[in-house]
């Protein structure tokens, strides 16, 4: 049953819990492999019964190969006085992710090509990676770079890049059917709060909520390294992908911008229509964007060989806010309130997916007499029939088995919830009958 107000209240309660989880995970140095991801998954598993999977380095996954595992203990640049002018202990963003180990002395001009800054944002440390090209580097505030004198520097990245594993987390919540909804977020970024601890926290809260009562759909949550994680999961679970009826990538859900939804490659999938409906009724400032093959793991889920109906829920557009991929994407950049609203939107979307269906009027010839059933204003002639009566009239008029509840909500301009409540009321009065979904693909499989 839909109970949006209750939902909204609970979502707000969850806001602080989500913010706390973001704060807890923030200091960990994550990358696409290694102990940072493992530790992150372990902490998530304290909240939900996550399965942690490990895939061996060298495993072929479509056009890619699972890389060697990267782990880092410490890294620094010391000047000739021995002072750490760049120190991994102060921020894990200081080291280019997947840097190969290095330990030697060099001049500033030798070091310079390995240093990355943001001249336009001189106080922020950029976030850089080099997963597939063997190199090393440091990131620092441009202001700090400008302070470096000509000197002999001792450079150390105490890291290992060795055969090991790619780790990811998976949670399957069985529903009444084996049709699946996929919820995916990435867990490969180090101390960046919005990108994507916000997505992780919303996914955890969503999983907690969904575990309480099984629904029509089964739900599969993925906490995976970006790109290579999605590719690995798809390569190892190619058959499972056929069960995915709807999906959402969760990313960038804690900042202060309005909610935005990026459509799947299909553009007219049910998830696309549902997300648009929900966001439009949350606020006029929400944003709907067409698919493009740039962004997060929707790139993989929507590659032409899969073409899954997977969209993305975000707030500030990917890559278009200045804090993106910098040290300014910190705990001040995200808020409990934004996380709560994001969770609320997710839950609304899932509820519409759960309840959207087709109904048949059992009195299709002319309107049924609502009055004798106590469903209609007794004294006729007045203008206002009320929203609920309009929802009933729309429902009865379009309950021909060819219009889904969402179709009816869209055509009437009413909220899905109003239409769903009207449908439920009419069913309880014997005026409508719900059609069984014909696209069920059988009982819930063993996973």
Q: Retrieve residue 9's tokens.
A: 């209240």
As measured in angstroms, the least distance from the Cβ of 440 to its own copies is: 25
The answer to the question of residue 293 lying near its own copies (CB under 8 A) is yes
**Which residues face 53 on adjacent strands?**
168
Stretch that binds its own copies, among 71-79, 248-256, 294-302, 340-348 (CB under 8 A): 294-302
Number of residues that bind its own copies (CB under 8 A): 64
Please identify, using beta-carbon distances, which residue of 227 and 330 lies nearer to its own copies: 227
Q: Retrieve residue 159's tokens.
A: 């890291």
| Cα–Cα distance measured from residue 226 to residue 187, given in angstroms and rounded to the nearest whole number | 7
Stretch that binds its own copies, among 84-92, 121-129, 248-256, 277-285 (CB under 8 A): 121-129
Please identify, using beta-carbon distances, which residue of 365 and 446 lies nearer to its own copies: 365
Length of the chain: 447
| Cα–Cα distance measured from residue 125 to residue 170, given in angstroms and rounded to the nearest whole number | 32
User: Could you count the other beta carbons within 10 Å of the beta carbon of residue 46?
Assistant: 10
Please identify, using beta-carbon distances, which residue of 19 and 324 lies nearer to its own copies: 324
The answer to the question of residue 70 lying near its own copies (CB under 8 A) is no
Q: Left, alpha or beta for 378 (phi > 0: left; psi -120 to 50: alpha)?
A: alpha
As measured in angstroms, the least distance from the Cβ of 289 to its own copies is: 13
Q: Retrieve residue 225's tokens.
A: 């390294």
The answer to the question of residue 412 lying near its own copies (CB under 8 A) is yes
The answer to the question of residue 304 lying near its own copies (CB under 8 A) is yes
Among 29, 173, 398, 406, interactor with its own copies by CB under 8 A = 398
Among 38, 246, 299, 347, interactor with its own copies by CB under 8 A = 299
Among 319, 435, 440, 443, interactor with its own copies by CB under 8 A = 319
CB burial string 301-310: b at 16+ within 10 A, e below: bbbeeeebbb
| Cα–Cα distance measured from residue 158 to residue 74, given in angstroms and rounded to the nearest whole number | 5
Burial class (CB in 10 A: 0-12, 13-18, 19+), 329: buried
Please identify, using beta-carbon distances, which residue of 126 and 214 lies nearer to its own copies: 126
As measured in angstroms, the least distance from the Cβ of 148 to its own copies is: 20
CA distances from 120 to 113, 123, 316 (A): 18, 9, 20
Among 49, 90, 107, 132, interactor with its own copies by CB under 8 A = 132
The answer to the question of residue 445 lying near its own copies (CB under 8 A) is no
Q: Is 246 helix (H, G, I), strand (E, B) or coil?
A: strand
| Cα–Cα distance measured from residue 413 to residue 175, given in angstroms and rounded to the nearest whole number | 31
Where is 279: in which H helix or E strand? helix 270-282
Which 337-376 positions form the footprint of its own copies (CB under 8 A)?
361, 363-369, 371-372
Interface residues with its own copies (CB under 8 A) are 61-64, 96-97, 116, 126-133, 135, 137, 227, 230-231, 234-235, 238, 265, 292-294, 299-300, 302-307, 319, 324-325, 361, 363-369, 371-372, 378-383, 385, 390, 393-394, 396-400, 412
């Amino acid at each position: 049953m839909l109970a949006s107000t209750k939902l909204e209240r609970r979502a707000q309660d969850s806001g602080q819990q989500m913010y706390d989880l973001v704060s807890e995970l923030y200091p960990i140095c994550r990358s696409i492999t290694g102990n940072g991801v493992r530790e992150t998954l372990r902490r998530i598993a304290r909240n939900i019964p996550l399965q942690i999977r490990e895939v061996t380095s060298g495993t072929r996954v479509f056009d890619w190969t699972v890389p060697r595992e990267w782990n880092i203990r410490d890294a620094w640049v010391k000047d000739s006085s021995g002072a750490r002018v760049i120190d991994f202990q102060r921020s894990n963003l200081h080291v280019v992710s997947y840097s190969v180990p290095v330990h030697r002395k060099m001049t500033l001009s030798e070091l310079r090509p390995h240093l990355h800054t943001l001249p336009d944002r001189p106080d922020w440390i950029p976030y850089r990676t080099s997963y597939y090209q063997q190199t090393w580097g440091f990131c620092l505030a441009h202001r700090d770079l400008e302070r470096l004198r000509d000197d002999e520097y001792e450079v150390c990245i105490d890291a290992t890049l060795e055969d090991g594993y790619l780790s990811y987390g998976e949670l399957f919540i069985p529903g009444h059917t084996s049709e699946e909804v996929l919820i995916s977020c990435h867990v490969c970024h180090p101390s960046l709060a919005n990108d994507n601890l916000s997505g992780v926290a919303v996914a955890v809260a969503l999983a907690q909520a969904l575990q309480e009562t099984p629904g029509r759909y089964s739900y599969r949550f993925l906490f995976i390294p970006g790109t290579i994680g999605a590719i690995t999961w798809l390569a190892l679970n190619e058959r499972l992908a056929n069960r995915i009826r709807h999906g959402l990538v969760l990313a960038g859900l804690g900042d202060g911008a309005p909610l935005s939804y990026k459509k799947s490659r299909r553009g007219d999938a049910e998830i696309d229509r549902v997300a648009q409906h929900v966001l439009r009724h949350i606020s006029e400032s929400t944003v709907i964007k067409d698919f493009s093959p740039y962004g997060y793991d929707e790139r993989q889920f929507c590659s032409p060989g899969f073409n899954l109906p997977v969209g993305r829920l975000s707030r500030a557009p990917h890559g278009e806010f200045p804090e993106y991929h910098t040290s300014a994407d910190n705990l001040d950049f995200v808020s409990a309130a934004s996380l709560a609203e994001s969770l609320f939107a997710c839950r609304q979307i899932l509820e519409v997916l759960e309840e959207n269906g087709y109904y048949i009027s059992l009195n299709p010839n002319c309107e049924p007499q609502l009055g004798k059933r106590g469903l209609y204003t007794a004294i006729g002639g007045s203008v206002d029939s009320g929203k609920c009566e309009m929802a009933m009239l729309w429902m009865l008029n379009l309950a021909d088995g060819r219009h889904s509840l969402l179709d009816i909500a869209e055509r009437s301009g009413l909220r899905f919830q109003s239409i769903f409540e009207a449908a439920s009321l009419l069913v309880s009065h014997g005026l409508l009958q719900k059609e069984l979904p014909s696209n069920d693909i059988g009982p819930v499989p063993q996973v």
